[in-house]
Amino acid sequence: MKRATLFLVLTAAVVGCSDNPNSLSREYRNLNNETIDALMLATNERRAQLAVEKVVAPYQERVQEIDRRFEIYVTNADEKLMTVDILTSESVATLLAENTINQKRLGLEKDRLSRMLTKMRDAEIARRIELGEDPKVETKDLWPNLHELVNGNKLAPLTKQLTGGGKFITLMAKFTDKQWDKHRPPPDIFKGLQENFVALVDKLKKE
């Protein structure tokens, strides 16, 4: 009896904390926004170092952990319910809208960091010339973290996530495949869900 009770408690705990389209899309969104917000705070080398070490460098590992949980959700979910849940999720729609918006935010931040690094380099060259020193300046030596954010590939995982759309886009692309026929709601209902979802994404992009 005690074993049965313990099993029920553990099962309830697992079910209670299970992931769904809302929770997973929210975590992707939070991670993406946190990373771009960290870039916005990188106004000097020290802050760039903090951004790289605390947020940018761990990004890939953190997104992979959400991906792992996403795969568990997909494996355990009923396909018909999952299709409806995703296409009626405002959080998923917000994720897709924010991916487009955040591509622009990321581009603006990279441009700002590039201009800042160029300004710092030019100021250092001018200072050295005034002192009669060698004016050759290597940004990777003086400001390694700013240099990495501007010229390196540490932001590549974020860029890929924003442009590719991540796991949700990959899954949703299957919804119209022939192999997914048995998992879709009736055609008229499915069409309405798709149209409403696309309209919501477009609306959120403009807000």
For the cut 60, the answer to whether the pLDDT of residue 102 exceeds it is yes
Write the DSSP symbol of residue 184.
Answer: S
| Residue 9 in domain | no
| Residue 90 in domain | yes
pLDDT on residue 171: 97
The residue range of the domain holding 169 is 19-206
For the cut 60, the answer to whether the pLDDT of residue 13 exceeds it is no
Model-wide pTM > 0.95: no
Quick: pLDDT tens for 105-120.
999 999 999 999 999 9
Rg from Cα positions in the chain: 23
pLDDT on residue 207: 81
Distances (CA, A) of 114 to 13, 45, 102: 48, 13, 18
Residue 18's nearest CA partner among 65, 89, 74 is 74
For the cut 50, the answer to whether the pLDDT of residue 61 exceeds it is yes
For the cut 70, the answer to whether the pLDDT of residue 14 exceeds it is no
| Residue 115 in domain | yes
| Residue 12 in domain | no
| Residue 166 in domain | yes
